[in-house]
Amino acid sequence: MTTISSYLLFVLLGLGAGAAYAILGLGLVLKFRSTGVVDFGHGAVAMFAAYVFIQLRSSGVLELPWIWLPHEVTLSSQGLGTALAMLIAVAYSAVLGLILYQLVFRPIQGSSALTKVCAAVGVMLGLQAVAVLNFGTQGRSTPTILPSGIVRVAGLIVPVDRLYFAGLVVVLAAALALVYRYTRFGLATRAADENPVGASLMGLSPTRLAAWNWVLASVLAAVAGILISPIATLDPSSYTLFVVPALGVALVARFRSFAVVAATGLGLGIAQALITKLLTVWTWLPQQGLVAGLPFILIMIVMTVFTPRLAARGDQARSTNPSVGTPRAPFRTALGCFVVGVVALFLLQGSLRSALISSLVTACICLSLVVLTGYIGQVSLAQMSFAGVSAFTLTHLATDLGWPFPLPLIAAALVAVPLGVLLGLPSLRLRGVNLAIVTLAAASAMDAFVFAGGWFSGGDAGRNIGSPRLFGWDLGIARGHEYPRVIFGVFVLLVVCAVGVAVARLRMSATGRMFLAVRSNERAAAAAGINVSAAKLLAFGYASFIAGLGGCLLAYQQGNISGSSFGAFASLSLLAIAYVAGVGRIAGAVVAGVMLSPNGLFVTLADKYLHVGVYATLVAGLALTLTAIQNPDGIASTKAGARGAGDALVRLAKKFNAHGENVGAPLGPPSRFQAKAADPIEVQWSGERG
Amino acid sequence: MTALLEVHGLTVTYGGVTAVRGATFDVPAGRMVGLIGPNGAGKTSLVDALTGYTRPSGGTVLFKGQDITSLAPHRRARVGLARTFQSIELFDDLTIEENLAVASQHVGLLFSLRELVSRARPVDRDAVDLALSICNLEAVARRYPAELSHGQRKLVGVARALAQRPSLVLLDEPAAGLDTDESFELGTRLRAMPAYGTSVLLIDHDMSLVLTVCDEVMVLDFGALIASAAPAQIRRDPRVIAAYLGSRGDGDDD
């Protein structure tokens, strides 16, 4: 085979993944244009459809998206035909999309970007968790769907199915573009996109339009999932994360142009395939991460360099920020917590003591989100990446270079600061959901380049870290058979209490006021002499330092760490539990660590006595979604979080009332205009009298 | 004596529409100057251009003799040029007092690190208290913006600008939404500001308020400055009356 033709073969092979990115991207555009939601769960829907398809095709069993209740319905004793299985999977996906829209995304229309991000992340985690429970994590494959032969064109070997893929993408994009351009449905959706209130005054129903768009998008997700299932091994997490490159594609198209989505999606697939080829030719290229990391690099460049302003519809809505606490007497509170914590460390034994220590470590990392998301309102889906960078730096400083404790702890946490500030740079231009996408891309890029292997993270073996020793005093979690040791728990508790006090002081300080001012209103903050950019970067710096400290504690706790602890999913789950628990409050971080963290005290207890630990992710996803719908502020923000279900209903009712008021709102202004118009007339009269 | 604020040929265009056309004027120190104009005259565009929220397409702005035409908004605030917003833009998560404190204090990296470890430096209490008392907000200092009436929130915006101890404050329709008594009370209180070292540029379409409390009044119409004189003269200026009546003044004379 000639060199040129071998390159062309890779180009064609790339069309497979590229088609999946493009079709998923088309669905993301539909969802965004109709509801302003960037659906992180879009890939999970595709994943589910692919499972349904494969199961139907291989064994004739229909998989339903729930647990406990019987979730397998046998439609046929042997597999269904490919076309029928496909049809059922697509219809299934459409219904799933409609249900998700009605239950989750319709109620939060008009909520803040953070709420929408969390709801979408909750759906994603929930679907993924159900898939893990019902299907396991073992990869599955299925025979090809499209004609798989090869044709020879001018001496080139061309796999036919890839041509079908590309053709399908072009057809779909063209069809959508035509529908949006020329049909009443498309026109109405565009109108509602431009001006929801105006559209509803014209007799269009934005919610019905959104529901249809959502169904259409879910159908596309199913198509993508089914098409790619023969060429990419199906497992819950990799298909769910297909959403990240698809987001990149949708972003390049500014969540608008279908044609750009199609072209970028295919182009991205081709670029990835070509890089795979080039790596074998240009061996000086970084062998690790380039293929997987490329989409994320693309996202970051596009969003930070070429995108001054995205039409984020969520920005129009009166944003409801999570409430923040006003900590009183932080020292006394911290002292109280310390005493309670020490007592608990002595009382608990074995796995429960470990769980308590895990809770504390998680609480520490969550405190970074209290500063960043709570105080200054910046969504970050990369906090675990900072924790990871610090954790690995710690192993290098302490184990390899032999720095004496506590120097490596502090230095490693400081290493996360410039990284955090770097990630903060996009936040100077991007807000809300757009920032969330960039940070998720950054986390995924770090996964690919830093945590997947190499000298820094030690690959599969991970890296070891010895016990911290202070003046010859062993603070480590293990000594001989003694594990976990109370003294290590006390050390962690001390660090967490200190961070807690600092975060509380920050809230009540001039810096905290400045952060809150920026969160409330950037325009007004600038008018008050606040350098908004500097304030954001400062917050990113503080937050990544705290996350870095947490990562170091995690490293000391585990003794051996590997990159898998710090993946993009870990960051997503972290934001999820921090948000559910109340991301504006220190108590929220503690609740997140103790009650919600998958390795934390409560879940471990529940698992020990009720054996429900396998459901932790599912519960986290559900809780996240429900919290986003019912209470944008999180649990810790309600009065002791104990108002009960009745109150939740009242809240929901109020929310619907609020929607009603919004519809009435356009009637307000005219009376004000009248009042204004009256003023000059009065002036004229007084002038005449004078 | 040079003026505090010197504006030369300031022009603001949005697409093909010229909102401010070659505005040229001075605001001397220690004065209370009014700027009036009917709706759509370009008042807010002018304020936005003066404070860095809109990039002017031409002209220069000198403040205390320094060219600030391309300075970022927060830098202008720090050199002593404060503003309020026509739409109320408060910090909803902060109490009224904190809203003012934020404006009176600059936080840099070192300051921020220092206040984490040591006792926080007290805010500029005098500036905050003075601003609260001028705007008659002492009673609600510990409340949150959402708990206040529309008129009071408007006043908080004014107070926040005053708490910066600015040399010049641009008030963008501070009286809109206040009733007649309230707006005249505010005007009277603002008259005291020059004595505290803060000159005032009061922008409003309520002629009676501006003509009553200001030392000097400028009139803007369709982006151009059509008059600048003492209130008594402005009252009689045919061009001003024409602008407000929306018909040609010379037509009336015939």
What percentage of chain A has pLDDT greater than the value 90? 30
Distance between CA atoms of residues A400 and A403, nearest Å: 8
Whether B106 shows a pLDDT value over 70: the answer reads: yes
For chain B, say whether A688 makes contact (Cβ under 8 Å): no
Residue A631 — very low, low, confident or very high, per pLDDT cuts 50/70/90? low
CB contact residues (below 8 A), chain A span 495-514, against chain B:
502, 505-506, 508-511, 513-514
- pLDDT given for residue A653 in this prediction: 42
Which ranges of A327-427 does DSSP label H, i.e. alpha helix? Answer: 330-347, 350-369, 383-395, 407-424
Residue A306 — very low, low, confident or very high, per pLDDT cuts 50/70/90? low
Task: Say if residue A484 is preceded by a cis peptide, omega within 30 of 0.
Answer: yes
Distance between CA atoms of residues A206 and A512, nearest Å: 39
CA dihedral over A451, A456, A462, A466, signed as positive or negative = negative
- pLDDT given for residue A425 in this prediction: 87
What percentage of chain B has pLDDT greater than the value 90? 28
What percentage of chain A has pLDDT greater than the value 70? 86
What contacts A437, CB < 8 A, 6 or more positions away? A38, A247, A251, A299, A303
- State phi, psi for A370 to the nearest 5 degrees: -60, -45
Whether A90 shows a pLDDT value over 70: the answer reads: yes
- pLDDT given for residue B221 in this prediction: 81
Distance between CA atoms of residues B124 and A129, nearest Å: 53
Is B77 in contact with A690 (Cβ distance < 8 A)?
A: no
Q: Å from A663 to nearest chain B CA? A: 21
- pLDDT given for residue A635 in this prediction: 53
Beta strands B224-229 and B216-221 are antiparallel
- pLDDT given for residue A307 in this prediction: 54
Amino acid occupying residue A14: G
What contacts A298, CB < 8 A, 6 or more positions away? A248, A252, A268
b/e string for A35-51 if b means 16 or more Cβ within 10 A?
A: bbbbbbbbbbbbbbbbb
CA dihedral over B56, B61, B67, B68, signed as positive or negative = negative
Among candidates A520, A676, A686 on the partner chain, residue whose Cβ is nearest the Cβ of B91: A520
Minimum CA–CA partner of B77 in chain A: A529
**Residues counted in chain A:** 690
For the ranges A77-81, A108-112, A169-173, A306-310, the maximum mean pLDDT occurs at A169-173
Q: Å from B14 to nearest chain A CA? A: 17
Distance between CA atoms of residues A113 and A321, nearest Å: 9
Helix (H, G, I), strand (E, B) or coil at B133: helix
User: Over B54-102, what HEC string results?
Assistant: CCCCEEEEEECCEECCCCCHHHHHHCCEEECCCCCCCCCCCCHHHHHHH
- pLDDT given for residue A98 in this prediction: 94
Residue with tokens 């910066």: B164
Distance between CA atoms of residues B198 and A679, nearest Å: 28
Among candidates A505, A513, A520 on the partner chain, residue whose Cβ is nearest the Cβ of B101: A513
Helix (H, G, I), strand (E, B) or coil at B233: helix
* pLDDT tens-digit series, residues A414-441: 999 999 999 888 888 777 777 888 888 8
Is B106 in contact with A687 (Cβ distance < 8 A)?
A: no
Whether A154 shows a pLDDT value over 70: the answer reads: no
Q: Out of A463-467, B67-71, B76-80, which region has the weakest mean confidence (pLDDT)?
A: A463-467
Whether B251 shows a pLDDT value over 60: the answer reads: no
- For residue B219, the cross-strand partners are B36, B227
Distance between CA atoms of residues B30 and A583, nearest Å: 47
Q: What is the mean pLDDT of residues A329-339?
A: 90
- pLDDT given for residue A77 in this prediction: 78
Q: What is the CA radius of gyration of chain A?
A: 27
Across the A/B interface, how many CB contacts are shorter than 8 Å?
Answer: 124
Residue A669 — very low, low, confident or very high, per pLDDT cuts 50/70/90? very low
User: Over A148-161, what HEC string results?
Assistant: CCEEEECCEEEEHH
Q: Which residues of A touch B85 (CB under 8 A)?
A: 523-524, 527
What percentage of chain B has pLDDT greater than the value 70? 93
Residue A67 — very low, low, confident or very high, per pLDDT cuts 50/70/90? confident
Residue A602 — very low, low, confident or very high, per pLDDT cuts 50/70/90? confident
Minimum CA–CA partner of A677 in chain B: B39
Is A529 in contact with B72 (Cβ distance < 8 A)?
A: no
Mean pLDDT of chain A: 81
Full DSSP string of A263-331: HHHHHHHHHHHHHHHHHHH-TTS--SSHHHHHHHHHHHHIIIII-S----GGGTS---PPP------HH
Whether A30 shows a pLDDT value over 80: the answer reads: yes
Mean pLDDT of chain B: 85
- pLDDT given for residue A500 in this prediction: 95
- pLDDT given for residue A677 in this prediction: 34
Distance between CA atoms of residues A589 and A8, nearest Å: 52
- pLDDT given for residue A684 in this prediction: 34
* pLDDT tens-digit series, residues A244-275: 889 888 877 878 889 999 999 999 888 888 88
Which ranges of B105-149 does DSSP label H, i.e. alpha helix? Answer: 109-117, 125-134
Q: What is the mean pLDDT of residues A138-155?
A: 76
Whether A100 shows a pLDDT value over 90: the answer reads: yes
Beta strands B199-204 and B168-172 are parallel
b/e string for A492-511 if b means 16 or more Cβ within 10 A?
A: bbbbbbebbbbbbbbbbbbb
Is A520 in contact with B120 (Cβ distance < 8 A)?
A: no
Residue A280 — very low, low, confident or very high, per pLDDT cuts 50/70/90? confident
- pLDDT given for residue A315 in this prediction: 42
**E strand intervals along A82-222:** 150-153, 156-159
* pLDDT tens-digit series, residues B191-235: 888 888 899 999 987 788 888 889 999 888 877 788 888 888 888
Is A676 in contact with B176 (Cβ distance < 8 A)?
A: yes
Whether A678 shows a pLDDT value over 80: the answer reads: no
CB contact at 8 A, B134 and B123: no
Q: Out of A218-232, A240-254, A638-652, which region has the weakest mean confidence (pLDDT)?
A: A638-652
- pLDDT given for residue A662 in this prediction: 33
Amino acid occupying residue A379: V
- pLDDT given for residue A313 in this prediction: 36
Q: Which residues of A touch B71 (CB under 8 A)?
A: none
CA dihedral over A101, A104, A105, A110, signed as positive or negative = positive
Q: Which of A534, A592, A516 is nearest to A118 (CA)?
A: A592
- pLDDT given for residue A465 in this prediction: 87
Q: pTM for the complete prediction? A: 0.82
Q: What is the mean pLDDT of residues A176-195?
A: 81
CB contact at 8 A, B215 and B31: yes
Residue of A509, A518, A545, A681 for testing the chain B interface, max B β-carbons within 10 Å: A509
Q: Out of A274-278, A348-352, A652-656, B139-143, which region has the weakest mean confidence (pLDDT)?
A: A652-656
Is B161 in contact with A517 (Cβ distance < 8 A)?
A: no
More reliable by pLDDT, A660 or B59: B59
- pLDDT given for residue A4 in this prediction: 67
Whether A617 shows a pLDDT value over 70: the answer reads: yes
Among candidates B102, B108, B116 on the partner chain, residue whose Cβ is nearest the Cβ of A513: B102
Q: Å from A396 to nearest chain B CA? A: 28
Full DSSP string of A663-686: HHGGGHHHHHHHHHHHHHHHHHHH
Q: What is the mean pLDDT of residues A501-506?
A: 92
